[in-house]
Amino acid sequence: MKKILFILVIAACPIATGCATAPKSESWSAKLPWNKDKPPKPYPNPVKMAVTWTPDILVQPGRTPTRGFGGRVYFYNDHSQAVPVEGELTIHGFDEALATAQQSDGIKRFRFTAEQFTSHFSESDLGASYSIWIPWDAAGGDQKKLSLMSTFKTTGGKVVQSEAAMVLLPGRKVDLTAAKRPAVPAVRQVGHYLGGTETHQGLNANSAMQTTTIPLPSSFQQRLARMPEQTKPSARVATRLPAAQETSKPTPLPAP
């Protein structure tokens, strides 16, 4: 009998309370101290950054394939932990060959604004990181040796800089030694003279060859007139002497 009475009392409770409903969860759960809105944590200030570069070619439909580098950027706090950051990234690229010649084409600058750089965030096995791409030139060019320097400035004004990275952009190999070597003919004729710094032993390097004409005495010319035409030498004898040497006067031949 008692069990029947208890069941009737339980069944009558909803009828007595009518259509009352439990209070909404938002009205009372929001008052709990651990559910209050917390301000977002500010981005930590990095003390160090590191960048790894990988050469690659970007191919897009309808566009010229472009050579460049894909980079993975890491920022570290005081505890050497990879952390996310907020700020702008600037990368300066130097072509070693053109920069040495003081040509403006050898220096390029790439800049990511704070909004742009935030969109490049990605998690990696090493922690928070940012993946970027910097184009250099059209694919198919010569091999280049480049230097890349990265600089990051937080929204608070702190500047962090990476170490300069020496990277190689693959391409056609150029033999620089062959381009600088002077062209020399494979076969030289006897008596061939090479200009420049080549000198001959016993002669001044600044001397040149002169042609000196020695007149013959009249008595010798008369003797030549009686000789056959085939064996007759020229009336004047030409000899080649160095300009630095002095020639002695000819001694007259004795009369026949």
More confident residue, 122 or 182: 122
User: What does the alpha-carbon distance between residue 211 and residue 239 come to, in Å, rounded to a whole number?
Assistant: 6
- 158-170 confidence digits (pLDDT tens): 999 999 999 999 9
In three-state secondary structure terms, 59 is coil
Nearest Cα neighbor of 137 from 66, 242, 225 is 66
pLDDT, tens digit, 9 for 90 and up, residues 65-101 = 999 999 999 999 999 999 999 999 999 999 877 756 5
Distances, alpha carbon 202 to alpha carbons 5, 205, 207, 244, 246, in Å = 142, 9, 11, 11, 15
| Cβ-contact 49, 150 below 8 angstroms | yes
- Cα Rg of the chain, angstroms: 47
HSE-up (13 A, CA, CB side) for residue 179: 4
Angle at 102 between CA 96 and CA 107, to 5 degrees: 55
DSSP of 98-113? HHHTT-GGGEEEEEE-
Q: Reduced to 3 states, what is the DSSP secondary structure of residue 180?
A: helix
- Fold classification of 48-172 is Immunoglobulin-like (2.60.40)
The pLDDT > 70 percentage for the chain reads 49
Tokens of 207: 């001397």
Of the chain, the end-to-end C-alpha distance in Å amounts to 182
Of residues 212, 204, 206, 200, the one with CA closest to residue 240? 212
Q: Which residues pair with 241 in a beta bridge?
A: 210
Q: Is this model's pTM higher than 0.85 or not?
A: no
For residue 3, the model assigns a pLDDT of 52
Over residues 144-165, the mean pLDDT reads 94
Cα dihedral sign, 100-102-105-107: positive
Half-sphere exposure of 161 (CA within 13 A, CB side): 6
Over the stretch 186-236, which tens digit does the pLDDT of each residue have?
555 444 444 544 444 444 545 455 555 555 556 556 655 655 555 555 545
